[in-house]
């Protein structure tokens, strides 16, 4: 989903555009040029085609668009209409076709359109797209108007009213000049926080280009860091809207003045004037040189503002600053131990600087990039779907480098640590390698493969300039109604612990010595603690039913189920931990439900003190706002509870100011602040950010590479769980004629799920990859495809029906929040039609088990495909026997929703398929029955005595396959319970007990 707007700057929001109808055109004005008449001449189509398309932050935010016949249409018979109820951001765009020349608007004064006012007093952002390769790689120039009238009104916007946007640009812009000779379309961002409708008509260019008030002066940067004794070159350019030569002379008087550097001692002062005569071409530049002076003193960074006084044009939005780099101070000495570097730096910092380090803002929420230095920000993040334009590795790196440049204007030049939710690959980036979601990784039962998926993710993330990943999720999912189920490796803490090898894939060595490498990132264990155990119906967040709810457990249950994975993460050296939105109600402690972000006993007491976690704790998105009390209370409660950095996406100014006030008032101790800042700086030093703050893009060629996709393909193949396989329907033979149907057979968006390009994900071709259908064709299969099974079914050897869920994330996917565990009516119809006509295999592409029991009798083969990622070839590999099915259920597959929650170890346990179930086509099933099991029990006992994990796993695996073969059609509550418990025993290294449990299941079967 392409996004072109998130926030409009505060400056834009304070000004209103004139809303009067267009006056009579002057005789020499060119005739208006229609951009959109909305009569059907422009299709609804995404780029690269010429077309109008909607976009938004999640599945509900893109407004539905229509061309509607209206008797009151200002022009023609139809208008563009739509409705909206936007929680994040949303709007629509008309991008001109990529494969045709850009449009030339330079002869006109501005752009105008008719808007059907609703008098809601809301701001509407209007943008135009200038320069670059296409509409999605162009500069964005923006303004806004207020809907404060009723009925149709024509809005005229002179091009001179548009302001250059820095937040979604190919960073640094193409030339930051509204040239108007290469225009790629426009975009409208609709209001947030109100449910409404809109109508628009007659977008056109009007008037004659106005030669007055069009010139502006820009500099090539706002910050110019130089080493002491070096020289800064400040490039000053004159530009005009429309790219015409300037008609009047422009003068730029310049002078070094103010700042923290001392004139004559730290730099040689400069003063003078640049003149751009009338007729100077737009884009012409002059350079001002500022020389610094080298001395022998150790000093923090010092600033030299270059004051520019412009006559005859608009002045730059910011005063450029030359920054003399900090030098000679101990914290800059790479040879010193990190601990000493941290102590030295913290000892020099002011309270304001420390508070800034504890603050993390969403990059799109910055009111100005200069805020990074003004507020000493320690971190920025990209929330789900918060991406640069264009969404390419190069643009990511340039964007983050631009932010890091701003941090160089601070006293100690402490680099930012930039974070993203790369939860199954670099999932915000189009073209990256998207892995199966964690539930599929848990199904592989392959810790080494989990580590390799983490390594691929780290490599692709770091190559775009991002050193920090908010992953992995170590939740132990206990209820499939939870919309975050797929973020978990499984329902058994032993399984989750076994998959934590992914931390080494992300970070490298446990000591953190590899973090500075160009293919490693800081990992985050989340969400501490108990998020997977929230009770259904306990959530009070919006319409969520279970996510962000309350986990009610005894101390013993908390330790055994939910806390266990975090000790493993700490032992593996994980660098950061994120608490859960949820509340913990620890039975018997007398506190009742308490938000995890407020639980000092768990964060300070258990995580930091008992477990020995020495990294830093980062809050979840605006999570402190959910703590009861006013904002000052939220801040002091969370920081005193042990949070070190607070994710305050839009409230970074308020948070920093409030924290400073709380410390000055003595309600948060300076010692607590110093501890938090020390933990944050430790990881920044380990990441090598002080030495190399800018992106190392040397690994960018590996993003989406065949080598990386091969790992994802293997993970997709090993994640496939064969639940049923009557008469050996699978694997397929290439000689068979195969009828493929179902909603998820040919949809990369559904296949990759939520957290893919946008927060919620979306159906359709959201990124590069291979669908399951395409993978089957590439495997050489004789395949016919009919999505809804409407094509004739006669003459086929076997059918493959790929069904399941559409994307969602977090509580949006909670069962009861518009979702259930049933297949859609269309999917049920496709299964029924195909399975009635031929032998059939049904693949369920979903983030959690789906209820299939009522159709199981008519299905010959059933596969849990989970959310396999971009590599549908991996699914085809097991379908056609290139690889054997080896996956095992990471969660219990229920018979009905009324059974939920149902988990391994439950006293009452009667699932459709038990935890650990998974037929195989890799090897022959062992024979010999009870005799073979007795021999395997002896081998397992010997493995227990000798500590031979490999021998123990081999013995249990053989026993499992033998028992599973017998139970395939005769599962009972007793046999299912023993079978599931055996898999838990295997993961905990109790091999003899596992074989004994399997033997009990065999005897009862």
Q: 252 near 217, Cβ under 8 Å?
A: yes
Query: What span, in angstroms and rounded, lies between the C-alpha atoms of 746 and 71?
Result: 41
Query: What span, in angstroms and rounded, lies between the C-alpha atoms of 600 and 609?
Result: 11
Count the Cβ atoms, other than its own, within 10 Å of residue 825.
8
What are the φ and ψ backbone dihedral angles of 854, each rounded to 5 degrees?
-70, -15
Smallest CA-to-CA distance from 417 within 468, 373, 463, 458 is with: 468
Query: What span, in angstroms and rounded, lies between the C-alpha atoms of 701 and 708?
Result: 11
Residue owning tokens 């230095």: 373
Smallest CA-to-CA distance from 201 within 75, 319, 360 is with: 75
Active site residues: 620, 810
Helix (H) / strand (E) element for 627: namely none
Contacts of 483 (CB under 8 A, 6+ apart): 544, 546, 547, 808, 809, 810, 811, 812, 813, 814, 815, 817, 819
What are the φ and ψ backbone dihedral angles of 343, each rounded to 5 degrees?
-60, -40
Burial letters for 935-974: b for 16+ Cβ neighbours within 10 Å, e otherwise?
Answer: bbbebbbebbeeebeebbbbbbbbbbbbbbbebbeebeee
In the 8-state DSSP scheme, what is residue 23? P
Contacts of 525 (CB under 8 A, 6+ apart): 472, 474, 503, 565, 566, 569, 570, 574, 576, 577, 578
Parallel, antiparallel, or unpaired: how do β-strands 163-164 and 139-147 relate? antiparallel
Smallest CA-to-CA distance from 694 within 412, 897, 413 is with: 413
Whether the link from the prior residue into 288 is cis, omega within 30° of 0, is no
Contacts of 157 (CB under 8 A, 6+ apart): 17, 110, 111, 112, 126, 143, 145
Contacts of 29 (CB under 8 A, 6+ apart): 109, 206, 207, 208
Smallest CA-to-CA distance from 526 within 816, 703, 755 is with: 755
Q: 826 near 833, Cβ under 8 Å?
A: no
Q: 439 near 488, Cβ under 8 Å?
A: yes
Query: What span, in angstroms and rounded, lies between the C-alpha atoms of 45 and 58?
Result: 19
**Torsion on CA atoms 308, 314, 318, 324, rounded to nearest 10:** -30
Whether the link from the prior residue into 901 is cis, omega within 30° of 0, is yes
Query: What span, in angstroms and rounded, lies between the C-alpha atoms of 62 and 64?
Result: 6
Q: 870 near 434, Cβ under 8 Å?
A: yes
DSSP letters along 839-907, please? EEEEEEESSS----GGGGGG-SEEEEEE--TTBHHHHHHHHTTSS------SS-B-S-GGG-S--TT-S
Parallel, antiparallel, or unpaired: how do β-strands 550-553 and 195-206 relate? unpaired
């Amino acid at each position: 989903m392409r996004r072109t707007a998130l926030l409009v700057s505060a400056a834009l929001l304070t000004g209103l555009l004139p809303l009067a109808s267009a006056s009579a055109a002057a005789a020499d004005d060119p005739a208006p040029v229609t951009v959109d008449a909305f009569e059907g001449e422009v299709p609804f189509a995404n780029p690269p085609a010429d077309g109008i398309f909607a976009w938004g932050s999640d599945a509900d935010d893109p407004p539905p668009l229509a061309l509607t016949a209206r008797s009151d249409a200002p022009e023609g018979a139809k208008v563009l209409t739509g409705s909206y109820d936007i929680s994040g951001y949303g709007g629509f765009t008309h991008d001109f076709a990529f494969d045709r020349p850009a449009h030339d608007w330079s002869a006109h004064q501005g752009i105008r359109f008719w808007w059907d006012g609703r008098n809601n007093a809301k701001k509407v952002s209007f943008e135009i797209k200038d320069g670059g390769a296409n509409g999605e790689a162009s500069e964005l120039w923006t303004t806004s108007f207020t809907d404060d009238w009723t009925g149709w009104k024509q809005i005229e916007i002179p091009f001179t009213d548009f302001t250059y946007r820095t937040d979604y640009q190919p960073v640094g812009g193409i030339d930051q000049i509204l040239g108007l000779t290469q225009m790629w379309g426009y975009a409208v961002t609709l209001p947030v926080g109100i449910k409404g409708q809109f109508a628009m008509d007659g977008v056109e260019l009007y008037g004659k280009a106005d030669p007055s008030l069009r010139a502006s002066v820009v500099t090539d940067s706002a910050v110019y860091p130089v080493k002491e004794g070096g020289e800064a070159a400040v490039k000053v350019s004159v530009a005009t809207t429309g790219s015409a030569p300037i008609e009047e002379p422009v003068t730029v008087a310049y002078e070094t003045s103010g700042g923290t550097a001392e004139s004559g001692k730290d730099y040689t002062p400069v003063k003078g004037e640049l003149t751009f005569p009338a007729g100077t071409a737009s884009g012409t530049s002059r350079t001002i040189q500022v020389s610094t002076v080298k001395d022998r003193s150790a000093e923090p960074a010092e600033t030299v503002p270059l004051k520019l006084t412009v006559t005859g044009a608009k002045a730059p939005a910011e005063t450029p600053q030359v920054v003399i780099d900090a030098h000679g101070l101990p914290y800059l000495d790479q040879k010193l131990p990190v601990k000493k570097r941290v102590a030295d730096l913290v000892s020099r910092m002011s309270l304001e600087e420390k508070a800034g380090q504890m603050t993390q803002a969403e990059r799109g929420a910055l009111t100005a990039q200069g805020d990074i230095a003004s507020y000493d920000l320690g971190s920025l993040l990209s929330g789900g779907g918060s991406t640069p334009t264009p969404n390419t590795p190069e643009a990511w790196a340039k964007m983050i480098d631009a932010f890091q440049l701003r941090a160089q204007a601070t006293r100690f030049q402490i680099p930012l640590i930039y974070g993203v939710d790369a939860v199954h690959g670099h999932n915000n980036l189009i073209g990256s390698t998207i892995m199966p979601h964690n539930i599929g990784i848990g199904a592989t039962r392959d810790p080494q493969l989990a580590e390799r998926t983490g390594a691929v993710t780290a490599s692709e993330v770091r190559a775009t300039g991002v050193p920090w990943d908010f992953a992995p999720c170590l939740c132990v999912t206990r209820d499939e109604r939870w919309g975050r189920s797929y973020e978990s490796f499984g329902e058994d803490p032993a399984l989750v612990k076994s998959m934590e090898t992914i931390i080494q894939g992300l970070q490298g060595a446990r000591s953190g010595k590899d973090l500075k490498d160009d293919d490693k990132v800081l990992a985050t264990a989340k969400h501490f603690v108990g998020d997977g155990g929230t009770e259904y119906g306990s959530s009070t967040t919006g319409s969520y039913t279970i996510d962000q709810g309350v986990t009610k457990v005894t101390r013993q249950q908390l330790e055994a189920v939910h806390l266990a994975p975090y000790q493993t993460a700490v032992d593996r050296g994980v660098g950061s931990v994120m608490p859960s939105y949820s509340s913990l109600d620890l039975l018997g402690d007398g506190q009742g439900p308490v938000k995890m972000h407020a639980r000092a006993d768990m964060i300070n007491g258990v995580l930091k003190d008992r477990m020995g976690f020495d990294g830093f704790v980062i809050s979840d998105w605006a999570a402190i706002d959910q703590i009861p009390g006013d904002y000052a209370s939220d801040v002091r409660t969370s920081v005193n509870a042990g949070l070190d950095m607070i994710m305050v996406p839009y409230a970074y100014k308020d948070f920093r100011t409030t924290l400073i006030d709380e410390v000055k008032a003595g309600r948060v101790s300076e010692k607590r602040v110093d501890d938090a800042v020390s933990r944050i700086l430790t990881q920044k030093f380990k990441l090598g950010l002080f030495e190399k703050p800018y992106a190392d893009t040397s690994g960018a060629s590996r993003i989406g590479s065949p080598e990386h996709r091969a790992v994802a393909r293997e993970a997709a193949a090993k994640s496939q769980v064969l639940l049923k396989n009557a008469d050996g329907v699978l694997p397929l033979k290439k000689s068979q004629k195969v009828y493929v149907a179902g909603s998820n057979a040919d949809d990369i968006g559904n296949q990759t799920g939520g957290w893919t390009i946008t927060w919620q994900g979306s159906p359709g071709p959201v990124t590069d990859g291979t669908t399951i259908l395409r993978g089957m064709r590439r495997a050489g299969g004789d395949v016919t495809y009919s999505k809804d099974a409407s094509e004739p079914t006669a003459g086929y050897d076997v059918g493959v029906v790929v069904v399941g869920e559409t994307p969602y994330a977090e509580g949006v996917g909670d069962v009861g929040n518009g979702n259930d565990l049933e297949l859609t009516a269309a999917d049920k119809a496709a299964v029924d039609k195909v399975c009635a006509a031929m032998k059939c295999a049904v693949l369920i592409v979903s983030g959690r088990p789906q209820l299939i029991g009522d159709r199981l009798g008519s299905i010959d083969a059933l596969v849990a495909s989970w959310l396999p990622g971009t590599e549908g070839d991996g699914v085809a590999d097991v379908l056609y026997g290139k690889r054997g099915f080896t996956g095992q259920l990471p969660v219990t597959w229920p018979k009905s929703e009324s059974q939920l929650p149902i988990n391994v170890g439950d006293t009452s346990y009667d699932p459709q398929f038990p935890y650990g179930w998974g037929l195989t086509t890799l090897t022959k099933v062992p024979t010999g029955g009870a005799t073979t099991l007795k021999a395997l029990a002896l081998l397992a006992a010997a493995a227990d005595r000798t500590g031979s994990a490999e021998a123990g796993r081999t013995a249990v695996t053989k026993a499992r396959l033998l028992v599973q073969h017998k139970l395939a059609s005769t599962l009972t509550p007793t046999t299912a319970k023993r079978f599931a418990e055996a898999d838990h025993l295997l993961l905990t290294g109790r091999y003899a007990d596992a074989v004994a449990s399997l033997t009990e299941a065999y005897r009862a079967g």
